């Protein structure tokens, strides 16, 4: 009974976390890009709100500050706008496919959040709580599989747009995503070789151990090349940053989601930002020790240690989200053949070599 | 691949069809080419232009460039108004550097009248033209960078452009529709303290340019997108009648300011950047370095600005001062005649060219002795550059179309007039 | 400017040597050299201007036309502007073209840039360029009736409705095209014209 309650709470927490992280990324994008581009960004909605009612007045300064920071614009206004906009399906395409494509593109991302642990295990009221929604042993494999399924959503979305530009964008996106899954998979394999398990929780635990007693066995120390490859492959999977050719606004007028509006478009949009958060989370968990602070050993199983760990993890995730956003707003985008060259001719051999060297060193050491 | 028959004239009175080309012997049997309209409404084609491209996958097999969406009948309108009333029309030709169009027209009519504007007016023209030229290049490079994905660079350049437009606005009163030139000089003098404000603005513009340089010029991704794309050799460039940064990017040293100096340009010390390969990257660098040279010219001009009248003294060409108009009969008659009948150049025809942001901006004016031009023609560099676009696109990717088009800097108003 | 004008005498001399028999008239106006050539000779003259190393006009700057209506025997005048980058000199060539056979040889074989320029002259004036690979309207749409920059085309000309393009629409609307809806005003004799532009009444 208690387990069921815990499960329910976990579901709510994980779902909220995924969505909140995604929304936070949109806010970071708006304000962060504004900072980089020497402008202010959204700061109007709610910044001038007034009220006469006595029970509303105390909350007003907080609301105004949030409005000035752009929270109300991003979280409230954009969502309401997306929900209320007319949902337009282009003539001559299947309504079902048009509706189902964003779901296929977004659902796997949310599911991938389910297998990733968010805090160390702790005991509360005598019960052991594992802060991980689905205790699958092959966690990493599941994440990889979900990334592959998301390709379907993109391809179907481009097809149902019923115009050549959408199709071009979808083909580019699908090819790009599939090509960059290979280096990603190979990096995961190398991590498995180093840490000996597919279970992400165990990997994080293993990172707590010291390497030669000096430095913690974080992924970045054991697999620096793997980190770079995963960063690039992750940005290519999310179609972000210099790899955003499929949605290159200026060439294809928004590419594969040209014909989407309203909530379906919001789903794509939010899914993309949740995917940024997902890769941030993966990078933090696999390469940066997850919830661990280096050289600090918190007592195990205590609930406040879990909370601290969770906050540390979230800080790292936000850092990686910011990193991806800054990269996006700094670099121009790749041309399509350059992108494919990078994936097949550079990242794949590098990750293969990384795997080979890792395996050799694991045998030797 | 029969290049001439891409677009069949279908209707008997002319027309462009968008059907796929029928498959022929020698075509790859497994694929069919697709005809795509990079249509008049497209985010990357600044200005309305339509490129009908036959693509196979990502590669462009053939392209037809369709201009004329912004044709407003400039040349026909010029025949109905006075020589000075043409000025607002010329603003709207190359609307990112409107002052250069103004002064080009004024210089042409002054050549027709065989007069020269006073020195101070010439220096003011130089200063404002060069500021406008920097704005033109900022717009071109900013928009191109944005289309390549470097959004930040675009916004930095827009910020720099705002600073320069503040300068232009305080002198002329408008950011785009300046109408500042008059036949024989300029409309008004520079404001007080212009030099100091100009120096302040230039300092900030230079900082922005340094930042953009750091972000783009040696950026590996940017170089790969722009280098070795759309190469035009020097012979091809001259054969296509290209001028301006397009021609100088291919290495041909032709700048109207140096070859046929006008408006005291020979008194200033500036260099003309030249490219070597003729690809998009060279054109980008040429425009980038021209901006610095233009800033140099402005600083030299403001330092040596001579005193004097800002418009020629002839009452049949320039409006006399108001106190003479109200207090003397000659003044009133001259004012009346000038406003009612306009400047009346002698009969003849003249061609005069200035260096616009895109290249040689020429005006060919035929006068029949009355106050209205008999024929006024604009040699628009953008229009002629679009003629070379097809050659540059053949065999390129669709993704290459965007930087190529950006570097041509086609301004719709100038291309279609 | 002194360097350019000295070479105008030189240029004039070289021109009269190379294609003197083609040049009908030569004038120096306001520092520019303007020569007049007949339509049948323009090809040879342009060829000589480009290929002759002493002339060396490697850039075709502009091709445009002027409609003289009844003021001259030949109604149209095609004007070429040439530029020699190495010699820094310009040349203007005027070609009187009559209304009965408004046709001139194309310059596209010499300069590729002539392609768009000649298309514009065809569009605006109706002067054909023989040998042009793709002579169709450039600034106007294909179904446009008339040539707008001619003096007898009114400033506020009206065009007939055109059918929607594209094979999806059945072309019965094509029967609705009526070129007579465009009023081409009858010509006023030159003596009645005031200042030459009296034909165009606002």
Same-domain pairing of C68 and C154: no
Residue with tokens 């954009």: A78
Q: What is the pLDDT of residue A331?
A: 87
> Could you give the CA distance from residue C193 to residue B89 in angstroms, rounded to a whole number?
26
How many CB atoms within 10 Å of residue A349? 11
* Crossing angle (nearest 10°) for helices A303-330 and A2-36: 30
Q: What is the pLDDT of residue C5?
A: 45
> Which of A253, A332, A338 is facing B149, going by the closest CB pair?
A332
Is A189 in contact with A163 (CB distance < 8 Å)?
no
User: Are A250 and B219 inside 8 Å of each other by CB?
Assistant: no
Q: What total of structural domains would you count in chain C?
A: 2
Q: What is the pLDDT of residue C124?
A: 92
Domain extent, residue C189, equals 146-202
Same-domain pairing of C113 and C166: no
Residues 322-351 of B with CB under 8 A from C: 348-351
Domain B74-313+344-416 = CATH 2.160.10.10? no
CA dihedral over C129, C135, C139, C145, signed as positive or negative: positive
- Mean pLDDT of the region B1-23: 37
Residues 74-93 of C with CB under 8 A from B: 79, 81, 85, 88, 90, 92
> Which of A251, A331, A338 is facing B398, going by the closest CB pair?
A251
Residues 56-115 of B with CB under 8 A from A: 58
Same-domain pairing of C129 and C40: yes
Same-domain pairing of C53 and C119: yes
Same-domain pairing of C150 and C129: no
Which of A225, A190, A194 minimizes the C-alpha distance to A207? Answer: A194
Name the minimum distance, in Å, from the CA of A260 to any CA of chain B.
Answer: 17
> Could you give the CA distance from residue B305 to residue B82 in angstroms, rounded to a whole number?
31
Same-domain pairing of C189 and C120: no
Same-domain pairing of C152 and C113: no
Domain assignment present for C141 = no
Q: Does C160 touch chain B (CB under 8 A)?
A: no
- Whether pTM > 0.80 for this model: the answer is yes
Select the more confidently predicted residue: A172 or B306: B306
Interface test with B, best of C116, C136, C171 (most B CBs within 10 A): C116
Tell whether the model's pLDDT for residue B385 goes beyond 80: yes
User: Are C196 and B68 inside 8 Å of each other by CB?
Assistant: no
> Could you give the CA distance from residue A252 to residue A272 in angstroms, rounded to a whole number?
18
3-state secondary structure of B77: helix
Q: Does B395 touch chain A (CB under 8 A)?
A: no
Name the minimum distance, in Å, from the CA of A98 to any CA of chain B.
Answer: 23
> Could you give the CA distance from residue A278 to residue B161 in angstroms, rounded to a whole number?
39
Q: What ipTM describes this predicted complex? A: 0.84
The first and second tokens of residue A127, run together, are 């019960």
Confidence of residue B5 (pLDDT cuts 50, 70, 90): very low
Q: Tell me which DSSP letter residue A47 carries.
A: T
Q: Does B44 touch chain A (CB under 8 A)?
A: yes
Is A119 in contact with A315 (CB distance < 8 Å)?
no
Q: Does B335 touch chain A (CB under 8 A)?
A: no
Q: What is the pLDDT of residue C161?
A: 83
> Could you give the CA distance from residue B270 to residue B272 in angstroms, rounded to a whole number?
7
Residues in contact with A111: Cβ distance below 8 Å, sequence separation at least 6, in sequence order = A142, A146
Q: Does C50 touch chain B (CB under 8 A)?
A: no
Q: Does C147 touch chain B (CB under 8 A)?
A: no
Q: Which ranges constitute the DSSP H helices of B92-193?
A: 98-113, 119-147, 151-172
Same-domain pairing of C160 and C111: no
Return per-residue pLDDT of chain A as tens, 365 residues.
777 888 888 888 888 888 888 888 999 988 888 888 888 888 888 777 788 888 888 888 888 888 888 888 888 888 888 888 888 887 778 888 888 988 998 899 888 888 888 888 877 777 777 777 777 778 888 888 998 898 898 888 888 877 777 777 788 888 888 999 999 999 999 988 888 888 888 888 888 777 776 777 787 878 889 999 999 999 998 888 788 877 765 455 556 777 788 888 888 888 889 999 999 999 998 888 888 887 777 777 777 888 888 899 999 999 999 999 999 888 888 888 888 889 899 999 999 999 999 999 888 87
Domain assignment present for C119 = yes
| CATH 1.10.645.10 boundaries in chain B | 74-313+344-416
> Could you give the CA distance from residue B65 to residue B72 in angstroms, rounded to a whole number?
19
User: Are B18 and C166 inside 8 Å of each other by CB?
Assistant: yes
Q: What is the pLDDT of residue C120?
A: 92
- Residue of chain B whose alpha carbon sits nearest to that of C150: B76
- Mean pLDDT of the region B24-45: 63
- Ranges of chain C whose pLDDT falls below 70: 1-6, 164-202
DSSP string, B213-261: HHHHTT-HHHHHHHTTSS---HHHHHHTT--THHHHHTT----HHHHS-
- Residue of chain B whose alpha carbon sits nearest to that of A327: B150
Residues in contact with B20: Cβ distance below 8 Å, sequence separation at least 6, in sequence order = B32, B33, B34, B35
> Which of C64, C117, C166 is facing B384, going by the closest CB pair?
C117
Is B55 in contact with B397 (CB distance < 8 Å)?
no
User: Are A335 and B42 inside 8 Å of each other by CB?
Assistant: no
Domain assignment present for C179 = yes
The beta strands (E) that lie in A169-228 are given as: 210-211, 215-216
| Greatest pairwise CA separation for chain A in angstroms | 74
Q: Which of C80, C107, C136 is the last residue of a domain?
A: C136
User: Are A250 and B215 inside 8 Å of each other by CB?
Assistant: no
| Domain containing residue C78: CATH number | 3.30.460.80
Q: What is the pLDDT of residue B292?
A: 92
Same-domain pairing of C54 and C120: yes
> Could you give the CA distance from residue B398 to residue B16 in angstroms, rounded to a whole number?
21
Same-domain pairing of C15 and C109: yes
């Amino acid at each position: 009974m208690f387990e069921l309650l815990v499960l329910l709470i976990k579901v709510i927490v994980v779902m909220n976390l995924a969505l909140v992280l995604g929304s936070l990324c949109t806010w970071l994008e708006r304000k962060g890009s504004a900072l980089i581009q020497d402008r202010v960004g959204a700061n109007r909605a709610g910044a001038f709100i007034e009220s006469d009612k006595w029970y509303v007045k105390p909350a007003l300064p907080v609301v105004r500050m949030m409005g000035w920071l752009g929270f109300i614009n991003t979280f409230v206004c954009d969502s309401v706008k997306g929900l209320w906009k007319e949902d337009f399906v282009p003539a001559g395409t299947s309504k079902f496919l048009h509706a189902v494509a964003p779901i296929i593109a977004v659902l796997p991302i949310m599911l991938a959040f389910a297998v990733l642990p968010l805090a160390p295990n702790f005991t509360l009221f005598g019960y052991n709580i594992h802060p991980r929604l689905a205790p699958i042993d092959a966690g990493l494999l599941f994440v990889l599989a979900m990334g592959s399924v998301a390709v379907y959503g993109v391809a179907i979305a481009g097809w149902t747009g019923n115009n050549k530009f959408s199709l071009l964008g979808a083909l580019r996106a699908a090819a790009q995503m599939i090509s960059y899954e290979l280096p990603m998979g190979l990096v995961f394999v190398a991590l498995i070789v180093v840490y000996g398990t597919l279970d992400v929780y165990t990997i994080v635990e293993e990172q707590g151990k010291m390497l030669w007693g000096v430095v913690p066995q974080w992924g970045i120390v054991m697999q620096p090349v793997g980190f770079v490859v995963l960063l690039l492959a992750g940005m290519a999977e999310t179609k972000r940053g210099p790899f955003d050719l499929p949605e290159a606004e200026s060439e294809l007028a928004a590419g594969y989601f040209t014909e989407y509006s309203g909530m379906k478009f919001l789903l794509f949009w939010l899914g993309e930002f949740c995917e940024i958060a997902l890769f941030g989370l993966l990078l933090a968990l696999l390469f940066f020790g997850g919830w661990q602070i280096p050289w600090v050993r918190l007592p195990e199983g205590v609930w406040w240690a879990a909370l601290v760990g969770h906050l540390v993890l979230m800080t790292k995730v936000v850092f990686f989200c910011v990193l991806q956003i800054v990269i996006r707003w700094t670099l121009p985008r790749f041309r399509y053949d350059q992108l494919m060259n990078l994936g097949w001719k550079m990242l794949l051999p590098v990750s293969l070599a990384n795997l080979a060297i890792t395996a050799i060193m694991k045998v030797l050491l | 691949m029969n290049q001439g028959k891409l677009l069949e004239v279908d209707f008997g009175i002319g027309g462009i069809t968008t059907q796929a080309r029928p498959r022929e012997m020698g075509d790859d049997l497994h694929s069919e080419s697709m005809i795509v309209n990079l249509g008049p409404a497209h985010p990357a084609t600044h200005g309305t232009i339509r490129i009908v491209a036959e693509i196979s996958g990502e590669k462009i097999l053939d392209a037809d460039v369709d201009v004329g969406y912004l044709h407003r009948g400039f040349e026909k309108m010029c025949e109905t108004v006075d020589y000075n009333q043409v000025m607002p029309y010329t603003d709207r030709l190359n609307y990112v550097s409107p002052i250069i169009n103004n002064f080009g027209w004024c210089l042409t009519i002054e050549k027709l009248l065989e007069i020269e504007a006073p020195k101070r007016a010439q220096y003011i023209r130089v200063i404002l033209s060069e500021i406008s030229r920097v704005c033109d290049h900022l717009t071109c490079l900013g928009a191109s960078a944005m289309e390549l994905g470097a959004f930040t660079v675009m916004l930095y350049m827009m910020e720099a452009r705002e600073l320069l437009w503040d300068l232009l606005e305080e002198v002329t009163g408008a950011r785009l529709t300046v109408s500042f030139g008059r036949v024989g000089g300029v409309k008004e003098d520079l404001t007080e303290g212009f030099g100091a404000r100009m120096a302040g603005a230039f300092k900030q513009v230079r900082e922005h340019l340094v930042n953009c340089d750091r972000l783009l010029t040696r950026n590996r991704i940017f170089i790969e997108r722009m280098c070795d794309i759309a190469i035009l050799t020097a012979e091809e460039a001259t054969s296509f009648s290209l001028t301006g940064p397009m021609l100088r990017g291919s290495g041909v040293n032709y700048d109207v300011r140096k070859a046929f100096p006008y408006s005291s340009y020979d008194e200033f010390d500036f260099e003309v950047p030249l490219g070597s390969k003729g690809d998009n990257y060279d054109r980008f660098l040429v425009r980038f370095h021209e901006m610095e040279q233009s800033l140099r010219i402005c600083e030299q001009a403001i330092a040596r600005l001579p005193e004097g009248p800002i418009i020629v003294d002839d009452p049949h060409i320039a409006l006399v001062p108001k106190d003479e108009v109200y207090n003397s009969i000659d003044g009133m008659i001259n004012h009346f005649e000038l406003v009612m009948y306009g400047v009346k150049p002698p009969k003849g025809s003249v061609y005069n060219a200035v260096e616009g942001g895109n290249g040689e901006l020429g005006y060919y004016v035929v006068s029949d002795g009355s106050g209205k031009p008999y024929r006024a023609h604009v040699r628009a560099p953008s229009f002629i550059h679009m003629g070379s676009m097809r050659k540059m696109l053949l065999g390129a990717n669709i993704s290459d179309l965007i930087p190529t088009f950006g570097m041509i800097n086609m301004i719709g108003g100038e291309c279609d007039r | 400017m002194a360097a350019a004008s000295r070479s105008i005498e030189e240029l004039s001399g070289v021109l009269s040597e190379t294609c003197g028999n083609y040049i009908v008239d030569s004038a120096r106006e306001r520092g520019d050299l303007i020569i007049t050539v007949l339509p049948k000779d323009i090809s040879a003259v342009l060829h000589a201007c480009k290929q002759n190393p002493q002339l060396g006009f490697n850039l075709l700057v502009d091709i445009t036309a002027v409609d003289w209506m009844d003021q001259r025997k030949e109604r149209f005048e095609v004007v070429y502007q040439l530029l020699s980058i190495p010699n820094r000199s310009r040349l203007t060539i005027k070609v009187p073209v009559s209304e009965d056979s408004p046709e001139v040889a194309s310059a596209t074989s010499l300069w590729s840039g002539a392609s768009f320029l000649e298309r514009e002259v065809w569009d605006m004036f109706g002067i054909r360029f023989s040998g042009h690979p793709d002579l169709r309207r450039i600034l106007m749409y294909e179904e446009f009736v008339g040539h707008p920059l001619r003096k007898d085309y009114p400033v506020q000309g009206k065009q007939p409705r055109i059918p929607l393009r594209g094979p999806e629409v059945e072309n019965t609307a094509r029967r609705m095209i009526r070129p007579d809806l465009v009023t081409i005003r009858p010509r006023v004799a030159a003596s009645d014209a005031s200042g030459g532009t009296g034909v165009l009444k606002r």
